[in-house]
Structure 1
Amino acid sequence: MPKADEDAFDRRPLHARIAADLRDEIMSGDLEPGSNLPSTQRLKERFDASNATVQKALQVLKDERLVIGRAGAAVTVREHRQETIRPASLGRPVESGKPYRWLTEAGKQGRNGSIQLMDVAEVRPPCDVAACLELGETGTAVMRRQLLMHDGDPVELVTCFYPLELARGTALSEPRKIRGGTPTLLAEMGYPPRLTVDRVSARVPTQQQYEALQLPGDLPILRTLRVVYSDHDRPIEATVMAKAGHLHELQYEFV
């Protein structure tokens, strides 16, 4: 066998490989919500695995809340909460007095959206954020960290950064929620969003992300670094957003 093929062998434990294949079938819709997974015997035959290994794989999916079942009963695919995010619809300012657009969208989906403000501080941002905001080697920014929730369950950890000269002395630097969201506030301050650029990657979660999102196991997150530009290509906001990778997908539309 060529060495390249040897290097490509899946070295994950067998139960993790079984869970990965079944997870993909659930997320793609091949195994629909309400349907039963194949029997333990069929899974043993399909994956050439022991009963204990199959049960360990099923427990992974139960911990991820993708399936439900108990010993001696069929394992059923749950109505899982994978969500399609349309970034273009969330970054626009709202009319005066209206709630933040993310909360409105949650309501349209029949969910109770809420936001927990975790921290507001002046910090030196991560290097990629500092570069996006053109802060130089020593520049600082106002940071706002929030946890977005649906029906009390955490779905996204959002950390926003604003150039100090823009944010200091404004509501952006105050430890309170901003009605209508920051896009609306920035527009009212004279910095309307003109261009938004997203950089999306899949990453292993940090300890903070793992704990805040209450992740069930060794799963990746979707990390989005979003930079918002106003007039004259001035960067006014850089945001790091972390979402559970097995619960979300991003949809981008081009015209």
Structure 2
Amino acid sequence: MAVTGRARALYQRIADDLRAQITDGSLQPGDRLPTEAEIAARWETTRSTAVQGLKLLVNEGLIVSERPRGYFVRSRQPMVYRPQAEFHKRPLSPEMDQFITQLAEEGREASQHIEVQVEAPPRKIRERLQLGEDELVVVRKRVRYIDGVPYNSNDSYFPLALVQGSAIMHPGDIARGANAVMSELGHEQVRALDEFHIRMPTPEEADRLQLGPGTPVAVHLCTGYTREGDPVRAVSNVLPGDRHVITYERSREQLGTHPTIRPAMQDDLETVVRLWEHAAAWLREEGVDQWQYPPRVERIEANIAAGECWIIDVDNAPVATITVD
């Protein structure tokens, strides 16, 4: 039954039954489904109704039609996509890059096709690179293949004014990486802004990546910035949903090991109060009764004025306060 309580049409129930078999593993990737005639006979309906149910699953990306052989459960062998790997060290050989190295480690055969063009950037790229209407970009267009199947596209855009005449203009793999070339040109990327947009592919994307019906894509837009905050590279990765697992690795940033102690100034009053409140909350959780009262702001202000209060900074961030009263 549907959520509305209305009975589902027969073709929908046919799709529900097959979907459940795929979900619980009764039908495995690569398995052949019953024929249209067999489904029609089982459900005592017409062949066209059976086809309607099968088309639902095709559009959902669960099965594929391989006429005249029939319908098969879609096989999926996703690659692990790691956006944070961009700043890792690269192998220094012209035939290998991070993508190829990663897949080789997984026992799969990887290849890529690269084209380089000078063109007017699309709006989303112009905005991220903060370019004027008439400014051009160099775009390195790459399609990456695994076992001969196009798995994703990777288009890197650079302001033409920054990379004219550099290795970025040459079609082919850059052994040391585009980031290294940008550093040599005086535009080192030290941080990146990642955006993910989940949608259905455009006709061009579907053709380029040979996508079947019902295959959504994740579009990873990455903008690279210099230490001064200038955007110098924008990358658009199109990742078919049936071929990728997006994996991020995160860790809690550790404080530095060289704290500094400085006298608190009147401008630090709010900071000292917040540090005091944070410490008091922790002590209350530990059952220390004398920390049940709120901070006495006027007393802290007097301590600061008397030179009796200090702040401990780590990496220029206040982490603790000391008061000698």
Residue 116 of structure 1 corresponds to 113
Cα 1:205–1:52, aligned 2, differ >3 Å: closer, same or farther?
Answer: closer
Aligned twin of 1:129: 125
Return the alpha-carbon distance in structure 2 between the equivalents of residues 196 and 164 of structure 1.
20
**Which of the residues 189, 213, 220 maps onto 2:216?**
220
Aligned partner letter, 1:63? V
C-alpha displacement at 1:149, in angstroms?
0.7
The alignment status of 1:100 with 2:97, answered yes or no, reads yes
* Structure 2 counterparts to residues 71-220 of structure 1, below 5 A: 77=73, 79-94=75-90, 96-97=92-93, 99-118=96-115, 120-220=116-216
Higher relative contact order (CA 8 A, sep 6+): 1
Q: Cα–Cα, structure 1 residues 226 and 44, in superposed 2: closer, same or farther, change >3 Å?
A: farther
Q: Which 5+ residue runs of structure 1 have no aligned equivalent?
A: none
Residues 146, 157 of structure 1: 8 Å contact kept: yes
Q: 1:235-254 maps to which residues of 2 (within 5 A)?
A: 235-254=231-250
Name which of structure 1's ranges 166-175 and 32-41 shifts more when overlaid on structure 2.
32-41
**1:113–1:142 Cα change, 3 Å:** same
Structure 2 unpaired stretches of 5+? 252-325
**CA drift at 1:250:** 1.5
Instruction: Give the count of matched residue pairs.
Output: 231
The TM-score, its normalising length taken from structure 2, stands at 0.59
Superposition CA RMSD, Å? 3.8
What amino acid is aligned across from residue 233 of structure 2 in structure 1? E
The alignment's TM-score, normalised by the length of structure 1, stands at 0.73
Shift of 1:225: 1.0
Q: Report deviation, 1:113.
A: 1.2
Instruction: Give CA-to-partner distance per residue, 1:182-207, whole Å, 9 cap, x none.
Output: 23433444433311211111223223
Q: Which has the larger radius of gyration?
A: 2
d(CA) in 2 for partners of 1:207 and 1:35?
A: 26
Q: Distance in 1 between matches of 2:197 and 2:183?
A: 28
The 1-side partners of 2:223 and 2:194 are apart by 7
**1:95–1:155 Cα change, 3 Å:** closer
Aligned to 2:52: 53
For 1:63, the equivalent position in structure 2 comes to: 64
Letter in 1 for 2:50: N
Describe the shift of the 1:132–1:102 C-alpha distance in structure 2 as closer, same or farther (beyond 3 A): same
CA contact (8 A) 1:64 1:217 kept: no
